[in-house]
A and B are shown apart, each in its own frame.
Chain A
Amino acid sequence: MLQKVSIQNFKSLKDVTLELQRVNLLIGPNNSGKSNFLKALESFKLLIDDYSKYFHQVDPSSDLSIHKISNIDSIIRKNDFFLKAKAERMVFDFRILNGYTYSTFFEISNEFYLNIGNNGKSISSGEAVCLINRDFETDAIIDEEDDILIDDDYICGYFKKIFNDIEIYKPDPNKLQKSFPILPNQSHVSNDASNLIAFLDTLRDEYPENFKVIENDLNKCIPELTGLRFENVEIQKNDDLYKIYGDKTFKRLGLFDANNKVTYWADELSEGTLYFLALLCIVHQPNPPKLLLLEEPEKGIHPRRIREVMDFIFQLAEDKDIQIIMTTHSERVLDEFEDIPEAVFVFDKDEEGATQVKNLLKDIIEPSNEKMDANDLPRIKFVESLGSHWVTGFIGGVPR
């Protein structure tokens, strides 16, 4: 699980640190940096997936030397994107310098820390062991004692295990209304959920238990809808989907209303219903990502159904050991965090346009309590109604 993430110089995120929980909520006005935070994590994933490619782009004539590498502060320049993430014993430290990528890894144990490049070589000084990047000059190494050979696969493998498939999900209901080709092995929901038909088709044949759970959960929240239906459709050769996927079997998706014995096809369903179905598919994927990023999971959902949606999300995190970071503009979603305010992060922009992030418990509630106690006044009852305190301004993260 990601425990702590620091980001510097990524879009509006000049310098923010979040200490994360199992399920996390980001709130704040539009354009305050919530989505940038998710995008930074997504960039992180892309670089972990293929980081050696970036290493080979490092300019050998760079003036960075191992002396500077071992001194982190000296190589952080004003406009460098810098991201640091702590997960259990490991810290991933990643930055882009002058358009190139440079990365170091630190492993912290009781005795020493490990500073790892991607070269398979190391230096050590006292208790510190440092592996340096082969693209940098090696003759600058000082006090070399214990060479430790660690290859790229080890490093990538380790971090992929932790950050396995970070995904930002932003279902697009317009795409769900369209037919889609039946492609093989679609057991993974795409980021915009546009492959939902192929995904559900795969699930029905290969993961019938998951398919059934999705139908049941849908029925739990929308009792009149009892099942998922598919129907073959003809696609014109000049259709964009045909141009992309060619001569495939295309299907459309529908939801069956048992009371009226009628199937409502996707183009007849509301965006909210389709969005909710996409959310169920995301949470019930056979192999959901270890770090799930959701933008406004309440979108299009009736206020009375938001609790059920949040229950699905919390249950998923619990059952499948998944970490979730989501954004919201709904006070009802925030109300679901009344007992875990430490998992809420309030985004605002300062006068210079830089994103500032406060932890609801540590930076807002606790200081307020201390201040009110010192003045012998009753405490602000934030957690009695977090949503109400948010929209009325007590928590911050509100538009002007």
Chain B
Amino acid sequence: MRILKYGYFGEDEAHRIFLANYLELLVLHLGKSEELIFDFDELFTYKFRGRNKSEVDARFAEAVQEGFVDYQHDIFFVGRDLDTFTNHEFKDKIKVMKSQLSANFHDKTFLMIPVQCIEHWLWYIKIKLENPSSTKNESLESKPRKDAKIALYGSARATNQMSNPIVEELSMKLDFDYLESRSESFKIFHKEVFNFINSLETS
């Protein structure tokens, strides 16, 4: 059994909840639940936190460094919502953020950057759960963030108390293939994590 201790630095609880459930489901999905456990470093994550996008941008590279050097993380995740929904700007953002990371950490740091916000990924999951047989492929990521939050939480400014149980419930019902087929930003994140886990098998 291999235990991978992971750190997370990001701006809100929804990312962290989604990530924990995503990793748990991914291990199951890959049939590795007997071989691999992702161990979330709560202490680190409750200490290190960005309150908004600019704080995440300003501090994430240092947070990654702290995670690997001081907290002995095996892997690290950075969560940041992206304001724009154009494919070009999304790819540029990933490139810029990666360039800020020390070379030592490139292959074990994963950028979770939902286009618009993590609620758009969850919105796709919600629609799939509510319309399991629908083949309609509507892009939600061009819709305003406020719409996604209202669709999920019933409020544009939901408290954690309102939103966390919904994030928890929806992310536990994540369908990788479906979300990958709908969201380019999820696809890129998922592919990187997937490849990393597969490379563990061969290393």
Q: Which 5 A-B pairs have the closest CB atoms?
A: A393-B48, A393-B47, A392-B59, A400-B46, A380-B62
Q: Number of contacting residues on A, CB 8 A?
A: 17
The interface residues of chain A lying within 8 Å CB-to-CB of B51 are: 391-392
* 22 A-B interface contacts by CB (under 8 A): A371-B70, A372-B69, A377-B65, A378-B65, A380-B62, A385-B58, A388-B55, A389-B59, A389-B62, A391-B55, A392-B55, A392-B59, A392-B63, A393-B47, A393-B48, A394-B48, A394-B59, A394-B62, A394-B63, A396-B47, A398-B47, A398-B49
**A62 in the interface (beta carbon within 8 A):** no
The interface residues of chain B lying within 8 Å CB-to-CB of A385 are: 58
A371 engages B69 (CB within 8 Å) = yes
State the Cβ distance, A137 to closest chain B Cβ, in Å.
53
**B50 in the interface (beta carbon within 8 A):** yes
With A394-B62, A398-B47 in contact, do A377 and B55 touch (Cβ < 8 Å)?
no
* Closest partner residue, chain A, to B65 (CB atom): A377
List 18 other contacts, CB 8 Å, given A381-B62, A388-B55, A393-B48.
A371-B69, A371-B70, A377-B69, A377-B102, A377-B104, A378-B65, A380-B62, A380-B65, A380-B66, A389-B59, A391-B51, A391-B55, A392-B48, A392-B49, A393-B49, A393-B63, A394-B62, A394-B63
Whole-angstrom distance between the alpha carbons of A389 and B46 in the complex?
Answer: 14
**A375 in the interface (beta carbon within 8 A):** yes
Whole-angstrom distance between the alpha carbons of A332 and B50 in the complex?
Answer: 17
B residues engaging A (CB < 8 A)?
46-51, 55, 58-59, 62-63, 65-66, 69-70, 102, 104
Whole-angstrom distance between the alpha carbons of A371 and B63 in the complex?
Answer: 14
Interface residues of B: mostly helix, strand, loop or mixed? helix
* Closest partner residue, chain B, to A399 (CB atom): B46
Whole-angstrom distance between the alpha carbons of A380 and B49 in the complex?
Answer: 16
* Closest partner residue, chain A, to B55 (CB atom): A392
State the Cβ distance, B32 to closest chain A Cβ, in Å.
30
State the Cβ distance, A79 to closest chain B Cβ, in Å.
31
In-complex Cβ contact of A394 among B46, B66, B69, B104 (8 A)? B66
In-complex Cβ contact of A392 among B46, B50, B65, B70 (8 A)? B50
The interface residues of chain A lying within 8 Å CB-to-CB of B49 are: 392-393, 398
Whole-angstrom distance between the alpha carbons of A372 and B49 in the complex?
Answer: 21
Whole-angstrom distance between the alpha carbons of A398 and B102 in the complex?
Answer: 26
The interface residues of chain B lying within 8 Å CB-to-CB of A393 are: 47-49, 63
* Closest partner residue, chain A, to B62 (CB atom): A380
State the Cβ distance, A259 to closest chain B Cβ, in Å.
36
* Closest partner residue, chain B, to A380 (CB atom): B62
Whole-angstrom distance between the alpha carbons of A75 and B69 in the complex?
Answer: 43
Q: Which of B47, B50, B66 has the most CB of A within 10 A?
A: B47
B65 engages A372 (CB within 8 Å) = yes
A375 engages B59 (CB within 8 Å) = no
The interface residues of chain A lying within 8 Å CB-to-CB of B63 are: 392-394
Would you list which residues of chain A between 349 and 400 have a CB under 8 Å from chain B? 371-372, 375, 377-378, 380-381, 385, 388-389, 391-394, 396, 398, 400
The interface residues of chain B lying within 8 Å CB-to-CB of A381 are: 62
